[in-house]
Amino acid sequence: MSMQLVPVELCKGINGLEKVVLREVRGFSAEVYLYGGHVTSWKNEHGEELLFVSSKANFKPPKPIRGGIPICFSQFSNLGSLEQHGFARNRLWSVDTDPPPFPTTSSNKAFIDLILKPTEEDMKIWPHSYEFRLRVTLGPGGDLMLTSRVRNTNTDGKPFSFTFAYHTYFSVSDISEVRVEGLETLDYLDNLQNRERFTEQGDAITFESEVDKIYLSTPTKIAILDHEKKRTFVIRKDGLPDAVVWNPWDKKAKAMADFGDDEYKYMLCVEAAAIEKPITLKPGEEWKGRQELSAVPSSYCSGQLDPQKVLQSS
């Protein structure tokens, strides 16, 4: 008798924190912690982990989890008066049992809806009423989709503005073997040089030292080519014009308590974001920001994959 697959399971994760496990028939899986509304795992059909989570990550509130997909809301980085990257990544989200319908219905079974609303304490640091709905879906082909819907529910008639990022940590075989395609010739703000504006020159982005850049008005598709693993990650995004590329490299890695000294070699953050132009919502208005991740086998060196084709295909 064949075992019945449970596509969505709520269970206990590290340190007893609640997590949701999503499973697809072909063996793909993903895990989402209610703490932070934080995706901490995305595995392919061979059980290989596609996201990076530090071996030193704290799964202990109020520290955010180092790795996976932290949600940066309502502030990216230190661009405002809130704590670094805002508060959503260290709040306890709830399962949303009755989310408003999406305009398009899909037959996906492996998805979970989470919701974050402010407490009275939260209102003291960001005096706005909102509903943040996050849907995490594992597609039948293993794609991982995150859709955020933020609604202004202020009753005082006031609009609010926010910046946002899906701070995705991708697992890579060796950072020096990785290139990012799709950001060539774009303008960026360099976080390592007082956020001065520069224009990217030349070819795809490769890595040989610390990188911390906010690329502006980027295309909706970005590819991360991992030659050694023969794997390409494709990020498709909607409602998120910017893209942050971050690798701390050796010195910053050593300075982070929740990150191994050598782990910078095995990760790369490419973050679908809305930073340069904050999103403003009037009461009753809703914003939607979506990212879809896929991991495809590639053999760029042997010419099987033309990165331009990856970027141009729909």
In the complex, least distance from residue 130 CB atom to ligand BG6, rounded to whole angstroms? 22
Residue 93: closest CA among 129, 59, 131: 131
Residue 125: which H helix or E strand, with range?
helix 120-125
Residue 244 contacts ligand BG6 per CB under 6 A:
yes
Active-site residue, 271 included: yes
In the complex, least distance from residue 19 CB atom to ligand BG6, rounded to whole angstroms? 20
Query: In Å, how far are 41, 76, 113, 299 from 276, measured between CA atoms?
Result: 29, 10, 28, 35
In the complex, least distance from residue 210 CB atom to ligand BG6, rounded to whole angstroms? 10
**Considering beta carbons, is residue 29 or 77 the nearer one to ligand BG6?**
77
**Considering beta carbons, is residue 169 or 300 the nearer one to ligand BG6?**
169
- HEC readout, 85-120: CECHHHCECEECCCCCCCCCCCCCCCEEEEEECCCH
Stretch that binds ligand BG6, among 77-85, 141-149, 171-179, 225-233 (CB under 6 A): 77-85
Active-site residue, 83 included: no
In Å, how far from its chain's centre is CA 209?
22
Measured between alpha carbons, how far apart are the two ends of the chain, in Å?
40
Residue 77 contacts ligand BG6 per CB under 6 A:
yes
Q: Among residue numbers 211 through 230, which ones bind ligand BG6 (CB under 6 A)?
A: 212
Yes or no: say if 259 and 106 are a contact pair by the CB < 8 Å rule.
Answer: no
Q: Among residue numbers 176 through 205, which ones bind ligand BG6 (CB under 6 A)?
A: 191
| Residues 6 or more apart whose Cβ sits within 8 Å of residue 35 | 17, 18, 59, 61, 65, 90, 91, 92, 93
In the complex, least distance from residue 31 CB atom to ligand BG6, rounded to whole angstroms? 19
The first and second tokens of residue 6, run together, are 């449970």
In the complex, least distance from residue 81 CB atom to ligand BG6, rounded to whole angstroms? 16
**Considering beta carbons, is residue 84 or 106 the nearer one to ligand BG6?**
84
In the complex, least distance from residue 85 CB atom to ligand BG6, rounded to whole angstroms? 5
Number of residues that bind ligand BG6 (CB under 6 A): 9
Residue 84 contacts ligand BG6 per CB under 6 A:
yes
E-assigned strand segments in the chain: 8-12, 18-23, 29-33, 38-43, 71-72, 94-95, 111-116, 130-138, 144-152, 160-166, 169-171, 178-181, 187-190, 196-199, 211-215, 221-226, 231-238, 242-247, 267-281, 286-297
Is 89 annotated to bind ligand? yes
Q: Between 110 and 149, how does the x/- string for binding to ligand BG6 read (CB under 6 A)? A: ----------------------------------------
Is 308 annotated to bind ligand? no
Q: Among residue numbers 245 through 274, which ones bind ligand BG6 (CB under 6 A)?
A: 246, 271
| Selected catalytic residue, list 31, 167, 181, 263 | 167
**Considering beta carbons, is residue 82 or 92 the nearer one to ligand BG6?**
82
Residue 167 contacts ligand BG6 per CB under 6 A:
yes
Residue 221: closest CA among 154, 312, 112: 312
Q: Any idea which residues carry the catalytic annotation?
A: 167, 271
Which residues in this chain contact ligand BG6 in the complex, by CB under 6 A? Answer: 77, 84-85, 167, 191, 212, 244, 246, 271
